[in-house]
Chains A and B, each alone.
Chain A
Amino acid sequence: EAGVTQFPSHSVIEKGQTVTLRCDPISGHDNLYWYRRVMGKEIKFLLHFVKESKQDESGMPNNRFLAERTGGTYSTLKVQPAELEDSGVYFCASRAIGGELFFGEGSRLTVL
């Protein structure tokens, strides 16, 4: 069974550009989470989807970040326009109801 997959693994963009990160959760996992680790700091929660609905988006840093999960399958996280402080590793995780959390390898974003 495939795990949580994230694309791209690494993205390098200029300040002001747009980047879209994608996460494919484990099939059948209704819960999908986005986390972010800024260099040298702790991993921080961004938001939580239950199917296609945003259950908790308290960790989203500002309105330059837009997360979607159309159809309740894969999710995208768009950063527009990107700023230098957005650089970091973006992790996606999924979980079945009552199950443990499974993480992807992360998408490294570098904003120059």
Chain B
Amino acid sequence: AQTVTQSQPEMSVQEAETVTLSCTYDTSENNYYLFWYKQPPSRQMILVIRQEAYKQQNATENRFSVNFQKAAKSFSLKISDSQLGDTAMYFCAFRRSSNTGKLIFGQGTTLQVKP
């Protein structure tokens, strides 16, 4: 069975600085997808970034990038130039390669961006 672990329940960062959120996972599959979702307070959870396991290049979306280490089963999220609007809970998630919306989530990391 697949598992996803986020070992940092809470983190904080000063505005404009960089922060890295950790995520590790366990799977015996070779092809899969990894995601980072963001849920601001009282708002919808939205997709931040996704990584396909067969791609070696790390995904990047503007200020958000990942460090995908397939052998180590690690999938960290780096947020550069943190903004107040980045304050949210962040969830790491795993999906098998089959076309499905069934995700396995980590416990979440609450990120507070301080002015």
Contacts and interface: CB of A to CB of B under 8 A. Distances in A.
Nearest to A108: B42
B84 interface: no
Given A4-B44, A103-B45, A45 B4 contact: no
B43 A105 contact: yes
Contacts, number: 49
B44 A3 contact: yes
A12 B83 CA distance: 34
Interface of A: 3-4, 31, 33, 35, 37, 40-45, 48, 56, 91, 93, 95, 97-98, 100-106
Binding site of B, secondary structure by majority: helix, strand, loop or mixed? loop
B101 A93 contact: yes
Interface of B: 4, 9, 37, 39, 42-47, 91, 99-108
A25 to B, nearest CB: 11
Nearest to A44: B105
A93 B45 CA distance: 10
Given A42-B4, A43-B91, A105 B44 contact: yes
Contacts of A56: 102
Nearest to A48: B102
Nearest to B4: A42
